Amino acid sequence: MKYNKKKFVYLISPSKVNKVFYNDLIKILSSKKVSFFQLRLKKESFRKRFTIGKKIKKICKKFNVKFLINDDVLLAKKLNADGCHLGQKDMNIFEARKIIGNKIIGITCNNSIKLAKKAAKDKANYIAIGAFNPSKTKKVKYKATINLLKKVKKITKIPIVAIGGIDSKNYEKLLLNKANFLAISGYIWNNKKLKPIRAIKNLK
């Protein structure tokens, strides 16, 4: 997984997918700034997520964006997605590997060097660290600092996805300190001032 300076966005879906979502997604992915798209729908049934996932997978494929599923390894397998993202309370990486084999598996490591070391040892494909800023998408339990990011960069070469309240005002600092990708959701989907395509264009 090489870091491409232009494609540093790790885009996470809105919590609800509406009719305009697919058109917005096409516009956003055509900006060529997104490397990953993660489907994260906590409240929908497996069947509904499968239906939505099938449509998104086609769009991602067209724009050469890796399509990942949050938490649900079985859904990732059924959709033949590019991989999945696991939190600390989800299935462990070894069980997930048995199900989806050699696909991308990312692990949430919060603000813990110990968890980052473990994920590296367990051969995760990337580790997610944060939250670097207050977030509207998720309640912030763990706070991460630039200093922590620098320490993790020293102990592993695995790509790091920075998470938590990232927007056009604070994203550059994370890239300058060598975060490989930036997980972004609320700034794109719940932006009261800008439409999604305008928001993504502000991340230069």
Specify if 58 maps to a domain: yes
Specify if 3 maps to a domain: no
Specify if 107 maps to a domain: yes
Confidence band, pLDDT 50/70/90 cuts, at residue 110: very high
Residue 3 confidence (pLDDT): 45
User: For position 173, which CATH number holds?
Assistant: 3.20.20.70
pLDDT surpassing 60 at residue 50: yes
* Host domain of residue 143: 9-201
Instruction: Dihedral sign for Cα 25, 31, 62, 41, please.
Output: negative
> pLDDT digit string (tens) for 135-171?
777 777 889 999 999 999 999 999 999 999 999 999 9
pLDDT surpassing 60 at residue 177: yes
Rounded CA-CA distance 38/85 in Å is 8
Rounded CA-CA distance 68/53 in Å is 9
53-69 mean pLDDT:
98
**What's the structural domain count of the chain?**
1
